[in-house]
A and B are shown apart, each in its own frame.
With several copies, the nearest count.
Chain A
């Protein structure tokens, strides 16, 4: 039986009135694109539980994260989130940032080495996050989210600051990793090429906006 990610959010963000709904089969990598300021980040924040849209629901498989009576706080949702600005902790080293979301169940450290390698983070591990380059920050943020082994991964323009070569390598690695671990992913990007490479299907913003 196929599982679904079913989302419907309705309500205002400041002056902007949002009304979005979609229903997609899991697992898979769903690309999302839309014009600047249309609400992509807000959508991901809603799914992560960082923003509470007053109406709507959010379900992943048989788990309900939000409906009229439920609102699961973010730390109880099995998500990984790569925010648009990386959101690295300024007071922790790169390594401690990476390990922050890892639970200490066995076997996890396996992925740690692998992911550090794939994202080329070895040389950075002891560094403070304050002085990283833009691309380095993004790679740390991706690694940190992958290491939480989420059921649903939310990526908000995660590779926008990387050059083509490393971007392509990482795209391939991530795609394999997500497919293998059956982690469903929402992938926001403005780069069609990038979306074409990683996404199994693409949601264009107008298509998920509710008709008025």
Chain B
């Protein structure tokens, strides 16, 4: 098999790798985009009900992925968002599609981002924002140019966790995705198959590849952050 056809063959490792990478990136991206404002809102005040909300958001972490997967199947299917899905996709469910997979992964990844980012916002406090306001930066600009860069270490930590976790997620992904080659069969599922069937040579190779890829990505993220937020003491 030539390199090119291996890339196109939906059963190949490359396809699974591509799906894993896309899923992890898209999930981390969306979860960060939702998680940052959420964390901000949670960090802004000390009402007890914000603590309640923050704790609630964490709860998906507590359920085993296959169980969370089942509840998400109910949510995405005919008894849940199915009507909406039928409207958009013509099928009565969001499950078994890349879109559905992404929704599920985002819900599972959100707690990591929110917890870590909220802590960062709480640590930096109000003061820098007040200064930005007096310099005529309205809240959005103050947030983007001051609060967010100052909280960068925490945000990046959350994103790294979410990214790594999504790459390795398997129970949830299989449950919502249905293991469709070329659509929802990601690398972790392939790895699982090889482990379950005792196909150790392939398993080690895939695991090694995943780890190497994740290592490079995380290291890059960390170094970029260092560059961005570099401060001489």
B contact residues around A50 at 8 Å (CB): 130, 133-134
Known contacts: A91-B150, A91-B231. The answer to whether A101 contacts B135 by CB under 8 A is yes
Chain A: how many interface residues by the 8 Å CB criterion? 23
Give A100 to B138 CA distance when docked, in angstroms. 12
For the residues of B in contact with A, the DSSP-based class is: helix
B contact residues around A128 at 8 Å (CB): 231-232
Known contacts: A89-B146, A90-B231, A130-B232. The answer to whether A103 contacts B135 by CB under 8 A is no
Interface residues of A in 76-93 (CB under 8 A from B): 79-81, 83, 87, 89-91
B136 at the interface (CB under 8 A from A): yes
A48 at the interface (CB under 8 A from B): yes
Contact of A130 among B128, B142, B233 (CB under 8 A): B233
Q: Give A155 Cβ to nearest chain B Cβ, in Å.
A: 12
B55 at the interface (CB under 8 A from A): no
Give A73 to B139 CA distance when docked, in angstroms. 10
Q: Is the CB of A90 within 8 A of B150?
A: yes
Q: Give A206 Cβ to nearest chain B Cβ, in Å.
A: 28
Q: Is the CB of B232 within 8 A of A74?
A: no
Q: Is the CB of B135 within 8 A of A144?
A: yes
Q: Is the CB of A103 within 8 A of B136?
A: yes
Q: Is the CB of B229 within 8 A of A74?
A: no
Known contacts: A87-B127, A89-B128, A91-B150. The answer to whether A79 contacts B134 by CB under 8 A is yes
Q: Is the CB of A49 within 8 A of B128?
A: no
Q: Is the CB of B233 within 8 A of A87?
A: no
Interface residues of A in 43-71 (CB under 8 A from B): 48-50
Contact of B133 among A73, A80, A89 (CB under 8 A): A73
A contact residues around B145 at 8 Å (CB): 100
Give A93 to B97 CA distance when docked, in angstroms. 47
Give A91 to B144 CA distance when docked, in angstroms. 12
Q: A75-B138, A87-B128, A101-B136 are known; give 8 further A-B pairs, CB within 8 A.
A: A50-B130, A87-B131, A89-B131, A89-B150, A90-B128, A91-B146, A128-B232, A131-B233
Question: What are 7 A-B pairs at a CB distance below 8 A?
Answer: A75-B134, A75-B139, A89-B131, A89-B132, A91-B150, A91-B229, A103-B136
Binding site for A on B (CB under 8 A): 127-128, 130-139, 142, 145-146, 149-150, 152, 229, 231-233
